[in-house]
Amino acid sequence: MTPAADRPIIVAVTGASGAPYAVRLIEALVERQQRVSLIVSDHGVRLLKTEMDIESVAALRERVGAAGWDTVVRVYDDRDRGAAPASGSALSAGMVICPCSMGTMSAIAVGASRSLVERAADVTLKERRRLILVPRESPYSAIHLENMMTLTRAGAVILPASPGFYHRPRTIGDLVDFIVGRVLDQLGVEQALVPRWGSESSE
């Protein structure tokens, strides 16, 4: 069996606002030479273009860095529900949907599995692997909150894109790193993007 450390992390990008989080997360994983199974929905591609002028997955590859990308990233078509991430027999180190639209969250909560992103999330839950959802919607409706509770009870981690300020961020990048660092912690990937609380006083 493939050692856990060698398994890919499934990263999905959907249409909710928050493209900088997705790009930084992929960059951080590539920098750490962590294998990534990447799925970008059609709305995710539109999001990357709208918020970061990244026109396509090919352009995302150039933004992240082609050399590192080609070493660890494998791209899957969101329309291909027969791709590897759709099967529990394809081992992974977990999945993160960043950002996660409320439509995607709703579909996962009811087990719709209409796309590869939704099916991969369904598989992650049924195989008892770590599923992290990063919503950015605000405010939340009762429907949103109920879906979050359903998914939390099923084993998912809801990690809203709500950066803190106790680390005294000075740039938008600092705020983005705060959330990406928390995602990496949940995935069990070493990171030093944000100082940990109490670390300064212990030095």
| Residue 166 in this model has a pLDDT that exceeds 60 | yes
Those residues whose C-beta lies under 8 Å from the C-beta of residue 93, and which sit 6 or more positions away, are 4, 5, 7, 8, 9, 129, 130, 187, 188
What is the model's pLDDT at position 194?
84
Q: Where does the pLDDT of residue 200 fall: very low under 50, low under 70, confident under 90, or very high at 90 and above?
A: low
Q: Which residues have a Cβ under 8 Å from the Cβ of 185 and sit 6 or more positions away?
A: 191
pLDDT tens for 34-59 read 999 999 999 999 999 999 999 999 99
Please state the rounded mean pLDDT for residues 84-97.
96
Q: Average pLDDT in the 88-106 region?
A: 97
Mean pLDDT of 183-191: 94
Question: What integer pLDDT is reported at residue 201 of this predicted model?
Answer: 45
pTM for the full predicted model: 0.93
Q: Which 8-state DSSP code applies to residue 171?
A: S
The structural domains of the chain, ordered by start, are 4-187 (3.40.50.1950)
pLDDT of residue 55: 97
Does residue 2 surpass a pLDDT of 80?
Answer: no
pLDDT in tens, 116-135: 999 999 999 999 999 999 99
Which CA distances in Å does 12 have to 37, 141, 143?
A: 8, 23, 22
Cite the DSSP H helix spans in 16-128.
19-31, 42-52, 57-64, 66-72, 102-110, 116-126
pLDDT at 25: 98
| pLDDT of 94 strictly over 70 | yes
Closest CA to 116 of 93, 90, 135: 90
pLDDT band at 202 (very low <50, low <70, confident <90, very high): very low
Distance between CA atoms of residues 52 and 54, nearest Å: 5
